[in-house]
Amino acid sequence: MKKIVCFGDSNTYGYDPSTGGRFDEKTRWPKLLQDLLGSDYEVIEEGQNGRTIANEDPWEGGTKCGMDYVLPMLETKRPDLLIIMLGTNDLKIKFNLPAADIAGSMQTMLMKIRGYCRYYLSSPDQKILLISPPALSDPFSESYFATFFDENSVVEKSKELAKWYELVAGQFGCEFLNATAQVSAGNVDHLHLDPAGHKKMADIVCGKVKEIL
């Protein structure tokens, strides 16, 4: 059985923008991915609301930094494929980061992962799929999350992540999937995927996984 870990933020966790809760297992894209791939694969959800790549967020209790969790998670899960889809929360205005700097944080994360896998886990050939996250949607000013972002620029900035992530993926020998160009946030809050978006994510990730494993 091939083990796949999906490491991401609220769009991997399955945050439901209509209720503030969580989509069920028939809706979340990692669970749909499991159904598409079948019993020869085990898909593990590692999504967390508010997770960043490398930024500590005091308002979130200091528990949302992906850099702090990814290495011990790799040690315990030992996946055949690690899927990373992060960066949306790093767009928050409190961090004031351009897309290139967010990709720089991803660069640091991948550097740490590669070194840890090679020298600590004895898995230098760890397979990694880096996904550029779904684009935010307009009109973002209508989102109840608008106050946390620069509503005038965040949609375009979210679309810029893909070109930088592709460069970073190539630098570290990772596979790359441009979900930014294929999937966008739904119209409830213009930040999170709706059920149709989750289905689309599962479909495009499935195709990529079958190329890799």
CATH number for the domain spanning 176: value is: 3.40.50.1110
Q: How confident is the model at residue 194 (pLDDT cuts 50, 70, 90)?
A: very high
170: left (phi > 0), else alpha (psi -120 to 50), else beta? alpha
Give the per-residue pLDDT at 165: 98
Which of 50, 29, 54 minimizes the C-alpha distance to 191?
50
Of 11-25, 58-72, 89-103, 121-135, the range with the lowest mean pLDDT is: 58-72
Adjacent-strand bridge partners of 65: 52
Q: Which pTM was predicted?
A: 0.97
Q: In the predicted model, is pLDDT for residue 59 greater than 90?
A: no
Q: Which residue has the tokens 């990373």?
A: 84
Burial label, 207 (beta-carbon count in 10 A; 0-12, 13-18, 19+): exposed
Summarize pLDDT for 127-175 with one digit per residue, the tens. Answer: 999 999 999 999 999 999 999 999 999 999 999 999 999 999 999 999 9
Task: Please tell me the total count of domains within the chain.
Answer: 1
Range of the domain at 89: 2-212
Query: Using CA atoms, how far apart are residues 154 and 136, in angstroms rounded to an integer?
Result: 8
Query: Using CA atoms, how far apart are residues 50 and 195, in angstroms rounded to an integer?
Result: 20
Query: Using CA atoms, how far apart are residues 146 and 166, in angstroms rounded to an integer?
Result: 27
Adjacent-strand bridge partners of 132: 178
pLDDT: which is higher, 179 or 62: 179
